[in-house]
Structure 1
């Protein structure tokens, strides 16, 4: 086995060990503990838990999610986990950015060209099913995530879940 292949296998084994220790833990925390990227944790999830779409699907996926109603939009860095609830505005491209503005607390500018892939994640999180769409960068981290919301009983919103599953199935 080449040194590169051995290093890749070592990273995979560390990711698997971290996931085995806390299968429903925070992906970024598992990645930090294993000294791998969040993308490497997502890659070792059980079959079907992470469905990856090409970066070329960005606009189509975003457009579909604008019809989901209020979602949970998360940006997770080493320094902050920023959560915003609202609908995703339509986006438009200009000046090297994907610009999102509208009647929602979610707005701003996304460096769309940094998106390497989009991952549909369906897994347990702290004992509950969690469904989200992760826009991943070349470094193997999430640029941002869009989560299916929960209702008053803490169950996934049935309509959003159906939309998530239908969209994911187009890329499975």
Structure 2
């Protein structure tokens, strides 16, 4: 049995589990797990599209920005601020708690992920580095009742379909 078969078994056994946990248990980068998701759950596009995709996200309102490493998960809620290129970084700045300097030249691929997470639908745009690990993820926001924000879901689906058609 191949590692891909094992990952698919893991996904079938726990379809709403933490993808990084599967990657770690199988000794593969996150992208290997993302590649095993069903086509309706994951769409991969080239990392070179990051500026176009980032720019689209800036008008969506409050979302959740996540950095997940082996040592923890950092979450920040806020609007995705605009960004500009400079000094080798994509610099994000604006009136948001999300800010910093990103090495987007290392972005190999971007995934539109739509799958259950602990029993609830979750939609995210995940930026993957050259080694296949997550640089960061941006999740569609949730309402107070934990439901997804309908306007953001519609925008997520439209952006995903735009890129699916282009691919």
TM-score above 0.5, yes or no: yes
- Aligned equivalent of 1:25: 17
- Aligned equivalent of 1:142: 134
Q: Which residues of 2 match residues 1-150 of structure 1 at below 5 A? A: 10-150=2-142
Contact 2:43-2:112 within 8 A present in 1 as well: yes
Q: How far 1:74 sits from its partner (Å)? A: 0.1
Instruction: Give the ranges of 4+ consecutive aligned residues of structure 1 lying more than 6 Å apart after TM superposition.
Output: none
Q: Normalized against structure 1, the TM-score is what?
A: 0.92
Q: Matched residue pairs, number? A: 164
Supply the RMSD in Å over aligned alpha carbons.
1.1
State the distance in 2 between where 1:132 and 1:148 align. Answer: 6
Deviations 1:94-144 (CA, angstroms, capped at 9, x unpaired):
000000011100000000101001100000111111000000011111100
What runs of 5+ residues in structure 1 fail to find an aligned partner? 1-8
What runs of 5+ residues in structure 2 fail to find an aligned partner? none
Q: Normalized against structure 2, the TM-score is what?
A: 0.95
